[in-house]
Amino acid sequence: MRIIPIKVACGITGFESPAATYTEQKLSLDELLIEHPNATFIGRACGDSMRNVGIMDNDILIVDRAYRYGHLDVIVANYNSNFVCKIIDLNKRMLLSGNDDELPVTISEHDEFSIEGVVTRSVRLHKPSHLLLE
């Protein structure tokens, strides 16, 4: 993929033609978004429980297993046989939502729980992708 490096204003006030200072550069989204390719997987967010941290329904999540998770990181975990994207509160052993309408969930010793990785990036699709249709 080749890109033209221009800044795009979200407010329309007019801008210089991109061809005025045209230079072509290579861009790999893998190189830009994925730091540890052998330890990274991609998932899709379902629901609005993480909207206050900027993760919306159907966003693509880039999850890195090589990162050491920390207190209040956004993680993907296996919680009682369900994959969930939550904020991990290590001090209180709780899963927090990024939505004030959802209550925190305490992780007990009886729960099946494992952290699968840290969410390092999320990508929003403004038009549906045929690759993600089920």
Tokens of 35: 């730091």
Closest to 45 measured CA to CA, from 37, 53, 33: 53
User: CA–CA separation, 35 vs 134, rounded Å?
Assistant: 28
Our answer to whether residue 127 is catalytic in this structure is no
Three-state DSSP state, 120: strand
Exactly one of 7, 17, 26, 49 is catalytic; name it.
49
Q: List the domains of the chain with CATH numbers.
A: 35-123 (2.10.109.10)
pLDDT tens per residue across all 134 residues of the chain: 444 555 555 555 555 665 556 566 677 888 889 999 999 999 999 999 999 999 999 999 999 999 999 999 999 999 999 999 999 999 999 999 999 999 999 999 999 999 999 999 999 988 877 766 55
Q: Please say whether the dihedral angle defined by the alpha carbons of residues 121, 126, 132 and 134, taken in this order, is positive or negative.
A: positive
Q: Please say whether the dihedral angle defined by the alpha carbons of residues 15, 17, 18 and 20, taken in this order, is positive or negative.
A: negative
Please, which residues have CB within 8 angstroms of residue 58's CB and are 6 or more apart in sequence?
44, 45, 46, 125, 128, 132
Our answer to whether residue 92 is catalytic in this structure is no
Exactly one of 7, 86, 97, 114 is catalytic; name it.
86
User: CA–CA separation, 30 vs 16, rounded Å?
Assistant: 29
